[in-house]
Amino acid sequence: MISNLIDGLKAYLEAYEVISRLKLWRFFLIPMLISVLIFLNIVLVSIGFSDEIGLYISSFWSWDFGKETINTVSMILGGIILISIGLIVFKHLVMILSAPFMGPISKKIEDDFTGVTSQTQVSSPLTLMFRSIKISSRNLFRELLLSIPILILGLIPFIGFFSLFLLFLMQAYFAGFGNMDYTLERHFSYQKSIQFVKANKGIAIGNGLVFMLFLLIPFVGIILIIPFSVTSATIATIKIINQ
């Protein structure tokens, strides 16, 4: 898995050259706009509700002793919960709404990489979106289900930092999963695509790690996250398929 993880990371080094050479930037304009709009809306919602969630959590502490500390910790925890959920919702919404554009782009990259026009056909925009909804719904359910115990684990002193890292790693895996599926859609059925990602989870994690790190770059990261993550995921996935 470590080898696959490194391959998933290394694919990003090829992404810019491929995007520029194939002149793909214009094809990414709408997905980049979708990414920015969704992110801004999630930020506004998070800011608006973080205090309410913090107050709700602190309301379970009915004693005066340590009330101020509990309030502070609750506000921070409320913010972490909203940010975590926001990131999960962000990536799945972006992947679903960008799916009709990502399929054709992934096909162009694959044809360039293999040097021949692939016999696999790009599905219709509607089919691509339904496929993305199916994959994202599956992954979203599992991601939220796993996030709850990880967030609870974060309440335990000294283990909190480890739980945040685990949460980051889990989100990276599902982000990479979605990026890989734009290519897998042309080669495998829904079920076989899931099996493929499980067998090559290092690729998904490697791709998703950089995806998540892009989110830490103010504004610019939100714009560039889709072009680079999808291109690198396509490159890494096609290499595995060809092997």
pTM beyond cutoff 0.85: no
50 or 12, which is more confident?
A: 12
pLDDT at 194 over 80: yes
User: What was the pLDDT predicted at 46?
Assistant: 74
Choice among 107-111, 115-119, 134-138, 222-226 with the minimum mean pLDDT: 115-119
Is 177 within 8 Å of 138 (Cβ atoms)?
no
Number of structural domains (the chain) is 1
64 or 124, which is more confident?
A: 124
Kindly state the average pLDDT of the residues 56-76: 70
Q: How confident is the model at residue 23 (pLDDT cuts 50, 70, 90)?
A: very high
Kindly state the average pLDDT of the residues 181-200: 92
User: Helix/strand/coil (H, E, C) string of 28-56?
Assistant: HHHHHHHHHHHHHHHHHHHHHHHHHHHHH
113 or 109, which is more confident?
A: 109
Question: pLDDT tens, 150-174?
Answer: 877 776 766 667 777 888 888 899 9
- Give burial (CB, 10 Å; 0-12/13-18/19+) of 156: exposed
Q: Residue 47 is part of which domain span?
A: 2-242
**Average pLDDT over all residues of the chain:** 84
CA distance 2 to 6: 6
User: What was the pLDDT predicted at 157?
Assistant: 66
Amino acid letter for position 232: S
As a residue count, the chain comes to 243
Please state, as a whole number, how many other Cβ atoms lie within 10 Å of the Cβ of residue 102.
27
